[in-house]
Amino acid sequence: MKRVAVFCGSSIGFDSVYANDAKKLGLYFSQNNIGLVYGGGKIGMMGAIADIILENKGEVIGVIPNLLRHEEVAHNDITQMIVTKKMSKRKVKISKMVDGYIALAGGFGTLDEIFEALTLGQLGIENKPIGILNTKGFFNHILQQLDVMVKEGFLKQNNRDMILVSEGIDELVQKMNNYKAPKMNKVVNTVASK
């Protein structure tokens, strides 16, 4: 993987363990020549990972929609900042630039972005690895809900298995490097022919 999108909070959280893991991931990226593509902010978890990569002379590309440019406090010192007109354009731009996705602790935006990546994988539009760095079990309840979806017949197990989870960075990146996308079934046309 040459570039990875990292989805994470614009807040830092109450426990320093989250920012520490963001910094460790940034250091890992720097040491392994992996470029970061992210939301473009200089605050919260986003700022923590971007700053450590920049300190270690790594590549940091921010993609920020114009409407959030003022609210999120755009990072001015990154390698490249791309400004999009809409949130939807931001997601498309990020997906075209990366070889995989990692989610760190965050809020609604983080969940929105990682679930969109999962949906693209489920539909076979993309075949990129999607990882979750599960610091302090942050995502445990969401992962349990996905298991309920499988049990109740709303999610196929092979789609549930697309989510690569680890509490360790080395293990997570290894899983991502070894990822094989599930085989897609032929899409059935549900429109009745007349």
CATH number of domain containing 93: 3.40.50.450
Give the model's pLDDT for residue 159.
Answer: 95
On whether residue 57 sits in a domain, the answer given is yes
Range of the structural domain that residue 118 is part of: 3-177
Does residue 189 register a pLDDT over 90? no
For residues 60 and 34, what is the distance between their CA atoms, to the nearest angstrom?
9
Closest CA to 77 of 45, 47, 101: 47
CA atoms within 13 A on the CB side of 180: 1
Percent of the chain at pLDDT exceeding 90: 83
Residue 194 domain flag: no
Q: How far is CA 183 from CA 14, 47, 101, in A?
A: 41, 37, 20
194 band by pLDDT with thresholds 50, 70 and 90 = very low
Give the chain's domain count: 1
Residue 54 lies in a domain: yes
Measure CA 30 to chain center: 17
Residue 64, token pair as written in the block: 């920020």
In this structure, is residue 166 part of a structural domain? yes
Mean pLDDT of 92-116: 96
Interval 156-167 mean pLDDT: 96
Position 71 scores a pLDDT of 55
Asked if residue 78 is part of any domain, the answer here is yes
- What's residue 183's pLDDT? 81
Residue 125 lies in a domain: yes
Q: Is 164 part of a structural domain of the chain?
A: yes
Res. 182 pLDDT band, cuts 50 70 90: confident
In a domain, 150, yes or no: yes
Quote the pLDDT of residue 72.
56
On the question of pLDDT at 109 being above 80, the answer is: yes
| Lookup: tokens for 115 | 């679930």
pLDDT digits (tens, 9 = 90+) for 52-82: 999 999 999 999 988 777 655 788 889 999 9
